[in-house]
Amino acid sequence: MAELDQKVNLPDFPEYQTEDGRLKIFGFWVFLAAEVVLFSTLFATYLVFKDQTAGGPTAKDLFEVKEFMAETLILLTSSFTCGLATLKMRLGQKKGVLMWMGLTLLLGLGFMVMEIGEFIKYVGEGATIGTSAFLSAFYVLLSTHGVHVSLGILWVSLLLIQVVKRGLTPITSRKLFIAGLYWHFLDVVWIFVFTAVYLTGLVS
């Protein structure tokens, strides 16, 4: 296991070393642009229906500051630890990558546990996906984000197994960088959920 601590002899910015790596990273940015559009349609639907509560619970009845702030801080912190993992990847420190990405995964899991707990609580209060247009749009938007986070957890877990087996190469480095981009993107989407859903819900 001593090789884990060893600094691998990698070029600077290993993820951009090959034409293939550069193109795949650019391709992933194009994918993220498409994801921006996907989420925008769900945000538009939510914002149009947010006051159509059909006599059911409203945003003010449901949302609790402590809960959504905890979720937001967990995700922001996971974005930071994921950024540190990218930094360690560029330094060629495999152990650092595994530690920070592992921590990112734990924070991601913590976020999912909190979000599922929130949904269960809301359903217990009579706020199901079928209660009103507001809640249908709410659950679809938040679950789409939640599914993305869950897939991210699975993706990064598999990727870390590959890093353990193959070490940090230009190829695994590029994969780590792209998975990092995905994770940060999910944090950006959550910032807009935090703003457009939770804060807006408590303002108006």
Partner 1 sequence: MSQQKQASAKHHVAGYAFSLVLTFVALFVALYTSLPASVKLIGIVVLAILQMVVQLIYFMHVTEGSKIYQLLSLGYGIFVAIVVVAGSIWIMLYNTMTQ
Q: Is 84 in the site for partner 1 (CB under 8 A)?
A: yes
Supply 122's token pair: 């809301």
- For the chain, where are the E strands, in sequence order? none
Q: Is 106 in the site for partner 1 (CB under 8 A)?
A: no
d(CA 85, CA 96) in angstroms, rounded, equals 7
Q: Of 16, 57, 102, 144, which lies in the binding site for partner 1, with binding defined by CB under 8 A?
A: 16
Give the interface segment with partner 1, choosing from 54-62, 111-119, 153-161, 196-204 (CB under 8 A): 196-204
d(CA 137, CA 52) in angstroms, rounded, equals 10
Give the interface segment with partner 1, choosing from 127-135, 147-155, 165-173, 192-200 (CB under 8 A): 192-200
Q: Which amino acid is at 53?
A: T
Give residues with Cβ within 8 angstroms of 38, minimum separation 6.
Answer: 144
d(CA 63, CA 180) in angstroms, rounded, equals 30
85 vs 153, which CB is nearer to partner 1? 85
User: Are residues 194 and 139 in contact, defined by beta-carbon separation less than 8 angstroms?
Assistant: no
Q: Of 18, 26, 61, 158, which lies in the binding site for partner 1, with binding defined by CB under 8 A?
A: 26
Residue with tokens 């059911």, as numbered in its chain: 56
User: How many angstroms separate the Cα of 152 from the Cα of each of 5, 79, 105, 112, 161?
Assistant: 26, 12, 9, 11, 14
Q: Is 19 in the site for partner 1 (CB under 8 A)?
A: no
Give the interface segment with partner 1, choosing from 39-47, 117-125, 141-149, 155-163 (CB under 8 A): 39-47
Q: Of 8, 32, 70, 106, which lies in the binding site for partner 1, with binding defined by CB under 8 A?
A: 32
For residue 10, give the nearest of 192, 176, 123 by alpha carbon. Answer: 176
d(CA 74, CA 114) in angstroms, rounded, equals 10
Q: Of 56, 136, 187, 197, which lies in the binding site for partner 1, with binding defined by CB under 8 A?
A: 187
29 vs 161, which CB is nearer to partner 1? 29
Q: Is 8 in the site for partner 1 (CB under 8 A)?
A: no
* Positions that interact with partner 1 (CB under 8 A): 12-13, 16, 22, 25-26, 29-30, 32-37, 39-41, 43-45, 47-48, 65, 69, 72-73, 76-77, 79-80, 82-84, 86-87, 90-91, 180-181, 184-185, 187-188, 191-192, 194-196, 199-200, 202-204
